[in-house]
């Protein structure tokens, strides 16, 4: 008789939550609620990742220290944006601030 296989050990470090794409409000909500059950979680970072054959919603539970790191990066990008050529919008990720085109 062969011995049963031992389950693979989970990798150390962060564990992403990845599930098939469902209606976006349902999928993000389920991922966030599941991620919030992780010990020491104070926030959840979610994104949509393009894939083959389908896209995925990926949510990462963040500890207090990780959230502080994310906030520091975003604050630094907001207060000291990289120099952009004239006419180019200032962007953080996919969020771009467009100057008003109204002329007086």
Domain that holds residue 35: 17-97
Do 90 and 96 contact (CB within 8 A), yes or no?
yes
- Does residue 1 carry a pLDDT above 50? no
- Give yes or no for a contact between 33 and 25, defined as CB atoms under 8 angstroms apart: no
pLDDT at 65 over 90: yes
Residue 6 counted as domain residue: no
Burial pattern 21-34, b for ≥16 Cβ within 10 A else e, equals eeeeeebbeebbee
* 4 or 101, greater pLDDT: 101
CB 18 within 8 A of CB 30: no
What would the pLDDT profile of 21-35 be if each residue is shown by its tens digit?
678 788 888 889 999
Tell me what the pLDDT averaged over the chain comes to.
75
Residue range 66-94, pLDDT digits in tens:
999 988 888 877 665 555 556 566 676 66
Count of domains observed in the chain: 1
Q: What is the DSSP letter of 63?
A: -
**How far is C-alpha 45 from the chain's CA centre?**
4
Give domain status of residue 32, yes or no.
yes
| 3-7, 13-17, 66-70, 71-75, range with greatest mean pLDDT | 66-70
Q: Is residue 4 part of a domain?
A: no
In a domain, 7, yes or no: no
Query: Is residue 81 domain-resident?
Result: yes
């Amino acid at each position: 008789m062969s011995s049963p296989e031992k389950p693979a050990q989970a990798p150390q470090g962060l564990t992403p939550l990845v599930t098939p794409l469902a209606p976006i409000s349902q999928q993000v909500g389920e991922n966030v609620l599941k991620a919030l059950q992780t010990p020491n979680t104070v926030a959840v970072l979610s994104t949509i990742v393009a894939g083959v054959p389908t896209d995925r919603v990926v949510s990462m539970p963040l500890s207090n220290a990780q959230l502080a790191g994310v906030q520091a990066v975003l604050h630094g990008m907001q207060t000291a944006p990289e120099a952009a050529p004239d006419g180019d919008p200032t962007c953080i990720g996919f969020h771009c601030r467009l100057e008003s085109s109204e002329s007086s």
